[in-house]
Amino acid sequence: MIGKLRWGVDGLLDRIRPSRIRPTAPPETFVDGEGREVRVRPYREEDFAGLVEMYHEFDPELRAQGTPPVGTENIEAWIDDLLDGVNVVAIHDGQPVGHVSFVPDGIDRHELAIFVHQEYQHAGVGSRLMANGLGYAREQGVRYVWLTVESRNRGIQRFYSHAGFSTVSPMGAAHRMSRTL
């Protein structure tokens, strides 16, 4: 009886508490929570126009800390800056639906930026994209990753915690989180 009760509690916790996001080397193809086949792989030059389109369609209400920027020229310039680092994309039906970037900050560290198109959020795409991004970044020699997150956004802070990030500066409007690879 105790074994059955324990299994039931563990099963319930597994459903309400997401599992850890562990670095995985891309490419990976999976079916998301909405039944769509999504491929996660390193960025290619032919993805540029699709990324511009994805960011152009990005819901302005979901923007954080001014990103992604608004306007095609601003988006193109911003993506160009992101491409200085390690980049991984999530692709569905030939178009980017998610993007993670690790941009060098000049002191042997990399700033993480991750975006998933609003129609693909809460379906497992972000978790798989993060796992593959971290794995690929590690393969490419990235060792220390940091990010800032708005202090009021507890949900995304939990997401980053599940990906191994710890809060290193919890003060002000934005928290800094980091992890090593």
- Does residue 67 fall inside a structural domain? yes
- Does residue 7 fall inside a structural domain? no
CATH code, domain with 25: 3.40.630.30
What 3-state class would DSSP assign to 73?
Answer: helix
Q: What is the mean pLDDT of residues 159-171?
A: 89
pLDDT greater than 80 at residue 171: no
> Over the stretch 97-125, which tens digit does the pLDDT of each residue have?
999 999 999 999 999 999 999 999 999 99
Mean pLDDT of the chain: 89
- Does residue 14 fall inside a structural domain? no
- Look up the domain containing 69 and give its range: 21-180
Domain count across the chain: 1
Per DSSP, which regions of the chain are E strands? 28-31, 37-42, 86-92, 95-104, 110-116, 144-150, 166-169, 174-180
Q: What percent of the chain has pLDDT over 70?
A: 90
Q: What is the pLDDT confidence band of residue 17, given thresholds at 50, 70 and 90?
A: low
Residue 19's pLDDT is what? Answer: 74
Phi and psi, residue 102, nearest 5°: -120, 100
- Does residue 3 fall inside a structural domain? no
- Does residue 10 fall inside a structural domain? no
Statement: the pTM of the whole predicted model exceeds 0.75: yes
Residue 18's pLDDT is what? Answer: 54
Residue 2's pLDDT is what? Answer: 42
